[in-house]
Each structure stands twice: as structure tokens, then as C-alpha cells.
Chain A
Amino acid sequence: MSALLRIEDLHMEGRRPTGEWMPIVRGVSLEARRGEVLALIGESGAGKSTIALSSLAYARPGCRFTGGEVLFDGTPVLDLSLEQKREMRGRRVAYIAQSAAAAFNVAHTLAAQITEGPAVHGTMPQAEADTQMVDLARRMRLPEPERIGRKYPHQVSGGQLQRLLAVMAMSCGPDLLVFDEPTTAIDVTTQVEVLAAFKDVIRESGAAALYVTHDLAVVAQMADRIIVLYGGEIMEQGGTDQILHEPRHDYTRQLMAAVRPPPRASGSGADLESSAQPPVLSLQGIDAGYGGVKGGKPGVQILFDVDVDIPRGQAVGVIGESGCGKSTMARVISGLTPSFEGEVRLDGKTLPPDVKHRDKKDLQRVQLVLQMPDVSFNPKKLVAQALGRPLEFYLGMTGAERDRRVGELLNMVELPADYAGRFPHELSGGEKQRVNLARALAAEPDVILCDEVTSALDTVVGAAIIKLLESLQERLDTAFVFISHDLSTVASFANRIVVLYAGRVAEQGPTRRILSPPYHPYTRLLLSSVPEMRTGWLEDHRATREAEQAMADVVNIGLTGCPFHTRCPLMIPGTCDVKRPPVHRLEEDHRIACHREIGELQEAPGVHG
């Protein structure tokens, strides 16, 4: 069969801040056939989106085509007139963007936007377009398919919006679908449904698809063939199984090596010795939130009655989906967001809630490392100054002594000592994150709080940071609180895991015990939602999870009862929705907050199959 889309020796350039044009795509050639999903994978800056958009004859502002050809159905589309391009876009080639929340226009109803395509391309009358939309929405298993079109984008959850974007893309019956990281912006527990919906759409329509992503496990579910990109060039291409299991190119191997295996009880997480010794840091009954405090409660309460113990010298992972209060917990510990109820204890001593009232010695013992390496440094200061300040502030080091120590710290995080003379913008993302760690280490603390330290980084770079953290944790007697939304990363590194849901601790305990039954129902959902790096996982998952598909995917914060009850398959009506769940305390300090008996949780359907 002849290719629907053929890209030949494509060259593109992007404009740098200095104004000069730099190549961002260098001689890429590829083919996509009907009924086939071709995945483009690679890290940020590899040119994935740029290449994918070229199939719509579109270059983002600041990018331009400099050579090569894009043939769609035999037509060289780059040479088309604006009007001809317009006729092709949406009707023959449809685009599904990364963030549906941003891609939908907030000023119009969903239906108006979804049926706009058929209207401007004149493919079908309005009434027919409306019926088709309802039909597509039903096939995507969206709730209330007849009525959802009347809503505005902000009235619909993120996962649903992403599916509605696919409905919109399908509205003109295109021949090629371009997916640009379509599940990156949503939580792992909602991702499965969206992926499944996409897969149905592609299969049923028989269209060709380009699927851009950096997530290899997602690729395994979606793609027939894979193209691996780096620096605007193709490193390797081949069938999905070949790329995933017998990568030939060095770079592909690096990528594969950086992937964490999905969390498994066996073999993951260094096991802890006994946790009999008192914790170095403990949170007791913490309530916290934002906005002015009125009548003992803040405007918005985020954390509810959080109890967590951090044993000395161990790594504790904190996991939960976006907005569940992970960062808030780190801010409470460091005193940036004072809790209004409960206590933070350091070695048994209660700390004042507000950082302003804590004394230097205590501050020194707890250090914070934040998520975004780009904004973690004052752009006007050298690395030496950034690292030197805590040395001077806490340890009173000055002059040559301080400079020597800065060099040592850089070596600790595996950077050459002469990096001290650089400005932050002269470092790559991974290097910034290393300096960020070094700054925390400079204080010689007992606890380091790491808030999503790898999520802004590429897989390979992030994996290297995790490795560094592991070796630091082995060498030093420092406890790490490792906050992340990625269960695989946490599970491979942490001794203990705390599972947060809507500001409450759902379950906590040693990693091994979290990853094996009895599970808290939310932990089970989380574990079963993490895609595995094998083809067919998605189908297996759906076969076993059919019963749960009607669940709401909206998190409700601050309800009475168990916060998870709107999504929980084991929900006990009349109990879970009104009463706070009790905490079951099992051995090795494993705690589960649930109304169900441990026996019932033990017997609930297993995670893997």
C-alpha cells in the first residue's frame, strides 16, 4: 500500500533569542500508511512536534521550513496556497493538542467548536454534525453524550476535555490524525481511559496516525512503528516490538535504560532495617491551606489531618496526583506555608509553624529542593554565590575555605569544580538540578525535601539525577522526602511510600508492602493505571477493569467522608460518603485509611491481570 504521508529530507529552522536561525530538523524522512500508528519519540528539543505539525503544512511562529518536501496523498503540501492549506487542515489532517484545556476556546460551547470543522469545510449540514458529535461522544464513553456539547470547556474535567478534542478531530472524518503529547497534561489514573478512547478512534476510522510522545510505555500501547528522534535527526526506526526489546542504536538503548520498570513488590526499593528508632521528622495531625485564616480555618484547606513519619537516613516517597497537596506538604515542613493545626517535630522537638519563628539550627537541618530548575536560581548570581550563601549563612564559612567547599559540593553532585564560575543560564536543566541539590547539601541537613526534582527533566537526565540521589542517600546519613506524581520513580528509590489523595493520607508504609496486597483502593487504581512497557497491556487492563469505567474522574476535595468515595469501586454507600475512614495499623508501621476490613482489601481483584 502506498504511503498516505511522505516526508522527504525535511529541514526546518528555529529562531534563537539572539535572533539567528538554527537548524531544528535536519533531513528527516518518514512515511505513514493508512491504518497505522507511527510514533515519534524523543526528548524535549528533539523536534517531534515540529515534524508532526509539518504534516499540516504548519510551522509555529519562530520556525520555518528550509528544505525538503511533505507529500500528503501525493500532494506537496508545503507549496499549497494558504487557502488550499486551510482546506486540508481539519478536513484531511486533524490535530490533537497537548493541553485540551488551552486548545478549546473558553468563549464558546464545546458543541459550537466541535461542529465548526464540518461547518467551515462544508462537509455536512449542521444537524448531521450535531448527531455525529453525540455519536462520537458516546463512542468515547463520555458522560451524558447528548448534553455535554452544551457545556463550556471550563465546566468539563481535563480527561474528558482531552477526549472531546479527539471528537473534534474526528468531526470531518480525517485521513490522518496528529496526536501531540495528548496525555502529558493529565493524571495517570485518567490517562488509561483517554488512551483507550484514542485507540478506538484510530482503529474504527482506519485513518493513519502520528503519535508524538516522550513516554515509552504509552508508545508501547499505541504505536505500530516507532521513530526515535534526537536533535532533529532520526536515530532509529522500526516496529514497536523491535525498538522496545531489541534497540539497535546507542541512543535508543540509553532511553530504554532510563525507563523505570513499573512498580513491583519484588526487588524494588531498598528494604529498610527496622524502623524502631524514633523518626527524625514527624508530622502530626497537620491541617494546612491557603488564603487568610478565618475562624481557625484558611480560605482553602488543602491538607487534612496528615500524619507522616520520616525515619532517619531513609528515603520516603510521597505520591499523589496533581493538586493533591504534595507540594503543600513540603511547604508546611519547611515552614513556608505555616500549618494552622497540628505539629511538625524535628527529633521530637516541636517546630514553630512559620519559618520566620524557627531558629537557624533547625532551619539548617531541613533543606528544600524545588521542581523547576529554571526558576530555582537567581539569574543574576553565579553558581559559587548560590552555593556559597548557605555555607556562609549556616556554617560561617568565608573566603578560601568556602570556595574549597563549593568545589567539593560540585564534585559531590558529579560536576566539575570550575562550574562555580558560571551563571545559571549557562547550565543545562540537569546540571541546574544538580547544583540545586548541592545547595541543599551545603547546609549538611538531616532531611532534604525534593519536590518533583525530575519532572521538568528529560527521561535520561532525570534517571541520572535519581541515580545521584540514590548514591548520596547511601553515603550520607540524610533522610530524603521524595515527592513525585510518578509511582515508578518513587517505587524504585524510596524505602517508604506515602500515598496522598485529596490532601489526606490514604496509605503509607514500606515500599514493599505498599506494592503488594492489601491495597488501599486508591493505591490499587494508581498501580493498575501505570502502563507497562509491553504491547497489549492496555487491552488486558481494559478487560479486567471494565467495571470501573463509569467512575467519575474528578477529584473532590474537602468532602465529608472518604475523599475517594466518588471513584472507589469498593465504596460502601451510607458509610464511605459520610464518615471519615478509620486507620488500620498493620505491622512495619503500614497504615491504610479505609472503611473496608483488611481482609476485604486483601481479596479485592489483584493489580496485574
Chain B
Amino acid sequence: MIANLIVRRLVLGVITIWVMSALVFFGIEILPGDVADAILGQGATEETLHAIREELGLYRPAYVRYLDWLGGLLRGEVGEALGTGRSIAEMIGIRLPTTLTLGGLTAAIAVPLALSLGLIAAMYPGSLFDRAITFGTLIVISGPEFLIATLLVMLFAIELRWVPAVSYLSQDPTFQQIARAMLLPVMTLVFAVLAPMTRMTRSAVLNVMASPAIEMAILKGVPRMRIVLWHALPNAFAPIVNVIAINLAYLITGVVVVEVIFSFPGVAKLMVDGVQSRDIPVVQACAMLFCAIYIGFYILADVISIVSNPRLRHPK
């Protein structure tokens, strides 16, 4: 039963990623013109265009090129950047650790923090703490990421001069250099992700706390701590995992903005530069990478909720 559901979820995930890849690839085909036009720009002659098309195999039918591209994705070979001709896989490979560190650090700080804040707020609904959390998160949610970043830079880099405003990493950075470079970007991201995650955690737990089973526990004389941890949390588990997955979308948006603000040498910056120079292969590769990570976490969240569902774990 459970295994069945999990397999079904995994298959669905693979199909989703596959459909996304098709959308990413064929989206470009809608446009008049092709990669050759993009490379050569407006002044190109027919001959040079023809030559490049030959070289890139653009005369083959679209679905053949798609399958080619898809196969490349699976093998980790995603072609060359149009402008520089450098291997895209290599470019991403160099930058991926930086981006993953950024996202990972943020998650490592924001998730436990958001869960505890949301949980405490839900334990004492209507209290001063709860109202402060509700109000504070609403404010943070309303601000664009670059406002948070700007304020942090003004405070820490310019007023206090603790950290650099821009994160250039030397070839062989020391730990201190990395830490200083990471500080503001991570802080910005934590702020941006913390607010929605706290709010959603709070309402997920409140939802569970309003159930008759919790009222029963109160009337049995169970201490409050135990009610929250033993009665409410196991039931709030699946919704909370879901909350974390949902907030990954905020994290990705945040990463994009933050890498640009701090000139951070990560994959998101690479992608934004790609969009600016209309370097389609780079954009496609980066987009697929982010989407795959995103969907991967979504599937993980679903699998966790399936596994943690007592009705499924202990069938009749």
C-alpha cells in the first residue's frame, strides 16, 4: 500500500520533470529565428547562418534535437555557452557548490527557527508573542527581498563596516573570507524565507490544535508541553513538511535576487546573466537544474507525508 503510493509519487515526479523539460525546450521553438540568429545577431549573412546551423545540427527536426538535449541533460552534458563557447556543465559545476552552500546554510538556519517560532506562536494563540510574530512576519512578507538586502547592507556594511557589501571570493578563499562573504546573503535569505515559513507553520499547528482530539487531551489533564509534542506534532508533521517544501520556491526566488545584489558567483547569477545576453542553452540548463531540485524536494515532502500517515502505515 505505502510502497505502492510512494512508487506512484516517484513516477509522477519523473513525469513532471520530463514535462517541464519539454516546456523549457519547446518554449524556445515558438519564436521566429533560432539559436543561430541569437549567436550572430542582426548583421548575419545567409551563408554564415547556414554554416552555424549545419554545425549545431539545427536542420534536424525539433524532436530529434529535443531527445538529444534530454539525453545530454541525463549524462550531464549540456553543450556550450553561445557567447564564450565554454562548456556549460563546467560553468555550472564551478558555481553549484557556492549556490548550494548559500541555500543549504539558509535552510539550516531558517527551518529550525521558523518551526520553533511558528510552534511557540501556535501554542499561545493571541498572546503578545503570537501577535508580534503575526504582525512581524506580515511586514517582512510585504517587503521585496532587495529591500531587506539593502537595509542589511546599509546597516552592516556601511554603518558598522563589519562585512563587505559585495561578495568577491578570491581563488583560494580562507574560511573567514567565506564567512564574511556569506553573512549578508544568508541573512537576507533567512529573513525572506523565515516569514512565510513561520506563518504557515503557525497555521498548520493551529489547525491541528483546534481538533476534538486535542480538546480531549486537555480534558484528560495532559500537560501543555505533551499536548503539543505528543498529540499535535505527529498530526502536524505532514503539513509542516509540506510548508517547508512550499517555501523552497521563496528560497529559489531569494537566491536569484541575492546572488545578483551581492554579485555572488553562483548558478542563479549565471542564469540571470544568461537571460540578459539571451544565451538560451545556459538559461535552459540552469532552469532545469533549479526545477529538478525543487521537484525533488516536493517529492520528498510527499513521500514523508505518506510514510508518516498512520492510516496508511497501519491499514485495517
Seen from chain A, the residues whose Cβ lies within 8 Å of a Cβ on chain B are: 53, 56, 58, 60-61, 85-91, 94-95, 97, 99, 102-108, 116-117, 120-121, 151-152, 154-155, 168
Chain B residues near A151 (CB-CB < 8 A): 314
Cβ of B231 under 8 Å from chain A: yes
- Kindly state the separation between the CA atoms of A53 and B221 in the bound complex, as whole angstroms: 13
- 30 A-B pairs with CB atoms under 8 Å apart are A53-B219, A56-B219, A61-B210, A85-B221, A86-B221, A86-B222, A86-B223, A88-B221, A89-B219, A90-B222, A91-B221, A94-B220, A97-B216, A102-B211, A103-B213, A103-B216, A104-B213, A105-B217, A105-B231, A105-B235, A106-B235, A106-B310, A107-B231, A107-B234, A108-B230, A108-B310, A116-B222, A152-B311, A154-B311, A154-B316
Among B213, B231, B235: residue with most chain A CB under 10 A: B213
Interfacial residues of chain B within 214-238, with CB under 8 A of chain A in the complex: 215-223, 226, 230-231, 234-235
Q: Which 6 A-B residue pairings sit nearest by Cβ, starting from the closest? A: A90-B221, A107-B234, A89-B221, A90-B220, A102-B212, A95-B219
Asked if B218 and A89 sit within 8 Å, CB to CB, the answer is yes
In the complex, how many residues of chain B place their beta carbon closer than 8 angstroms to a beta carbon of chain A?
A: 22
Asked if B220 and A89 sit within 8 Å, CB to CB, the answer is yes
- Kindly state the separation between the CA atoms of A372 and B75 in the bound complex, as whole angstroms: 60
Chain B residues near A152 (CB-CB < 8 A): 310-311, 314
Known: A94-B220, A104-B213, A155-B316. 18 other contacts (CB 8 A): A56-B219, A60-B215, A85-B221, A86-B221, A89-B221, A94-B219, A95-B219, A97-B212, A99-B212, A103-B215, A103-B216, A105-B217, A106-B310, A107-B231, A107-B234, A116-B220, A120-B220, A121-B221
Asked if A90 and B310 sit within 8 Å, CB to CB, the answer is no
Asked if B218 and A58 sit within 8 Å, CB to CB, the answer is yes
Chain B residue at minimal CB-CB distance from A155: B316
Partner of B221, one of A97, A108, A117: A117
Chain B residue at minimal CB-CB distance from A121: B221
Q: A155-B314, A155-B316 are in contact. Are A104 and B216 (CB under 8 A)?
A: yes
- Kindly state the separation between the CA atoms of A151 and B310 in the bound complex, as whole angstroms: 11
Asked if A108 and B234 sit within 8 Å, CB to CB, the answer is yes
Chain B residue at minimal CB-CB distance from A109: B314
- Kindly state the separation between the CA atoms of A99 and B235 in the bound complex, as whole angstroms: 18
- Kindly state the separation between the CA atoms of A389 and B211 in the bound complex, as whole angstroms: 40
Chain B residues near A155 (CB-CB < 8 A): 314, 316
Chain A residues near B217 (CB-CB < 8 A): 105
Asked if B310 and A120 sit within 8 Å, CB to CB, the answer is no
- Kindly state the separation between the CA atoms of A117 and B212 in the bound complex, as whole angstroms: 17
| A-B pairs under 8 A by CB, number | 77
Chain B residue at minimal CB-CB distance from A103: B216
**CB of A103, distance to nearest CB on chain B (Å):** 4
**CB of A379, distance to nearest CB on chain B (Å):** 24
Chain B residues near A89 (CB-CB < 8 A): 218-221
Asked if B221 and A106 sit within 8 Å, CB to CB, the answer is no
- Kindly state the separation between the CA atoms of A94 and B223 in the bound complex, as whole angstroms: 15
Asked if A107 and B310 sit within 8 Å, CB to CB, the answer is yes
Chain B residues near A95 (CB-CB < 8 A): 216, 219-220
Asked if B220 and A105 sit within 8 Å, CB to CB, the answer is no
Among A53, A87, A99, A154: residue with most chain B CB under 10 A: A154
Chain B residues near A60 (CB-CB < 8 A): 215
Chain B residues near A104 (CB-CB < 8 A): 213, 216
- Kindly state the separation between the CA atoms of A600 and B11 in the bound complex, as whole angstroms: 58
Chain B residues near A58 (CB-CB < 8 A): 218-219
Chain B residue at minimal CB-CB distance from A91: B221
- Kindly state the separation between the CA atoms of A222 and B219 in the bound complex, as whole angstroms: 23
Among B221, B223, B311: residue with most chain A CB under 10 A: B221
- Kindly state the separation between the CA atoms of A53 and B230 in the bound complex, as whole angstroms: 24
Chain B residues near A168 (CB-CB < 8 A): 220
Asked if B212 and A120 sit within 8 Å, CB to CB, the answer is no
Chain A residues near B219 (CB-CB < 8 A): 53, 56, 58, 89-90, 94-95
- Kindly state the separation between the CA atoms of A142 and B310 in the bound complex, as whole angstroms: 23
- Kindly state the separation between the CA atoms of A95 and B215 in the bound complex, as whole angstroms: 10
**CB of B203, distance to nearest CB on chain A (Å):** 15
Asked if A120 and B223 sit within 8 Å, CB to CB, the answer is yes
Asked if A120 and B213 sit within 8 Å, CB to CB, the answer is no
- Kindly state the separation between the CA atoms of A155 and B234 in the bound complex, as whole angstroms: 18
Chain B residue at minimal CB-CB distance from A61: B210
Chain A residue at minimal CB-CB distance from B234: A107
Chain A residues near B311 (CB-CB < 8 A): 106, 152, 154
- Kindly state the separation between the CA atoms of A89 and B210 in the bound complex, as whole angstroms: 19
- Kindly state the separation between the CA atoms of A60 and B211 in the bound complex, as whole angstroms: 12
Residues 89-118 of chain B: 1 if any A CB is under 8 Å from the residue's CB, otherwise 0?
000000000000000000000000000000
Chain B residue at minimal CB-CB distance from A169: B220
- Kindly state the separation between the CA atoms of A106 and B308 in the bound complex, as whole angstroms: 11
**CB of B240, distance to nearest CB on chain A (Å):** 14
Chain B residue at minimal CB-CB distance from A87: B221
Q: A154-B310, A154-B316 are in contact. Are A103 and B212 (CB under 8 A)?
A: yes
Chain A residues near B221 (CB-CB < 8 A): 85-91, 117, 120-121
Chain A residue at minimal CB-CB distance from B217: A105
**CB of B232, distance to nearest CB on chain A (Å):** 9
Asked if B213 and A106 sit within 8 Å, CB to CB, the answer is yes
Chain B residues near A85 (CB-CB < 8 A): 221
- Kindly state the separation between the CA atoms of A90 and B221 in the bound complex, as whole angstroms: 5
